[in-house]
Chain A
Amino acid sequence: SQTIHQWPATLVQPVGSPLSLECTVEGTSNPNLYWYRQAAGRGLQLLFYSVGIGQISSEVPQNLSASRPQDRQFILSSKKLLLSDSGFYLCAWSLLAGGGTGELFFGEGSRLTVL
């Protein structure tokens, strides 16, 4: 069966520090991978998605970047965190093209607090 893991689960970082959140998927090949953010009181905002190794699409301009060095690995990064980067970050995968006719499977989430 397929599983998705992301870490760390909780992170408290000072403003201006770097960030790296990692996500891995097991039990499937060539998944579409996604990073979402849920800010306090807001919905799920798509940040990045990837349809293959090295292929990254950015949905909103921001202080973050994403990389996909391996088929089942998706990394969210920042060189210098801002206060507004605080939120709950979710990695997700789908097998069919972007979940167009399928569903997304989410990781456990990573809560980032920038102080």
Chain B
Amino acid sequence: DQQVKQNSPSLSVQEGRISILNCDYTNSMFDYFLWYKKYPAEGPTFLISISSIKDKNEDGRFTVFLNKSAKHLSLHIVPSQPGDSAVYFCAASALGAQKLVFGQGTRLTINP
């Protein structure tokens, strides 16, 4: 049972444009959401997070939007840069839970 889903395995965006990565979840107990970025042969690194009490969190070029009623969140990167090319994982957790549940990841490629 995939509780966190990233339905797009890959995304290609032109440099300077906006990249939008999407994530859906099914567990209504999830109340904290995170995005991780992963380069090949390296561990994922934390990018940005959002609590369920918010619907938007912004950090520089990165903004995460949360739509609780739709159980959907998205990561916006603007402007996109070549160094943003990586696999992006969405993750979620429930209050008091001992673990994060990850999506399958989306490979983002920024074209010059």
Binding site for B on A (CB under 8 A): 32, 34, 36, 41-46, 49, 51, 57, 59, 88, 90, 92, 97-101, 103-109, 111
Contacts and interface: CB of A to CB of B under 8 A. Distances in A.
A-B pairs with the 7 shortest C-beta distances?
A: A98-B98, A106-B43, A43-B104, A44-B102, A103-B46, A99-B100, A109-B43
Contacts of B36: 104, 106
B93 A99 contact: yes
B98 A103 contact: no
B45 interface: yes
A98 B98 CA distance: 3
Contacts of A107: 43
24 contacts: A36-B102, A41-B9, A43-B102, A43-B105, A46-B99, A46-B102, A49-B99, A57-B98, A88-B41, A97-B96, A97-B97, A98-B98, A98-B99, A98-B100, A99-B93, A99-B98, A99-B99, A100-B32, A100-B95, A100-B97, A101-B51, A104-B44, A104-B100, A109-B41
Taking residues whose C-beta sits less than 8 angstroms from the other chain, chain B's interface range is: 20 to 34
Nearest to B93: A100
Contacts of B46: 103-105
Contacts of A59: 99
Given A103-B34, A105-B46, A97 B41 contact: no
Contacts of B94: 100
B102 A92 contact: no
Interface of B: 6, 9, 32, 34, 36, 41-46, 49, 51, 89, 91, 93-105
Contacts of B91: 44, 104
Contacts of B42: 108-109
Nearest to A34: B99
B62 to A, nearest CB: 14
